Amino acid sequence: MEIKESGFTYTEILVALIIVVIGFILVFNMSIIAVSTGNLNKDVLSAKELVATVLDSLQGLPFNDSLLTDDGDTNDLNNITNPDHIYQLTGRDDDRDGRIDEEILNRIDDDNDGLIDEDLKTFSVVINIANNRPVIDTKTISVIVYWKYKGVIKRVEMETIKRKL
């Protein structure tokens, strides 16, 4: 009577392990990319909301309000280096411990509000005005929000036209 041995050889086990490890590495890399993309999307959404809020506020101001003054250059609507008006919105110290960005660094929700990185971002808000553009008695209002993401400046911008009533 002949006895048949069954099972896997060491070579088959080694090949299977290599395939499994490569699979884990690929899934891990995809997870890192997904988290990074999610963070950028969150920043873009926040910037879009900020731009829309600022534009709505500016539309509600009187036509000759000081925030709607032009510096004389009507071709600078998308310029962030020499804007008509600039503001910086910095992070907050929500838990009043004197540190602004600590939650993102240690990945701990120190103030127990369910958020880890709310203190992190610094957005710059640029407002550029062009008088009598596109026609007389109108102002083109450009709002640009920009920030740094992984060392690269990202920006969101929108324009609207306000007319003299």
Structure tokens at 52: 């829309």
pLDDT for the residue numbered 112: 62
Burial class, 135, CB count within 10 angstroms (exposed 0-12 / middle 13-18 / buried 19+): exposed
Q: What is the mean pLDDT of residues 127-154?
A: 90
Q: How confident is the model at residue 78 (pLDDT cuts 50, 70, 90)?
A: confident
Going across the sheet that includes 138-149, the strands are 85-89, 123-131, 138-149, 152-163
Return the domain boundaries, the chain.
Answer: 10-163
Q: How does the average pLDDT of the chain come out, rounded?
A: 81
Contact in structure between 90 and 84 (CB atoms under 8 Å)? no
pLDDT of the residue at 156: 94
pLDDT-based confidence at 151, cuts 50/70/90? confident
Query: CA–CA distance from 78 to each of 20, 111, 123, 140, 165 (Å)?
Result: 50, 38, 16, 11, 26
pLDDT recorded at residue 63: 94
Question: For the chain, where are the alpha helices, taking DSSP H only?
Answer: 10-59, 102-106
User: Is pTM beyond 0.85 here?
Assistant: no
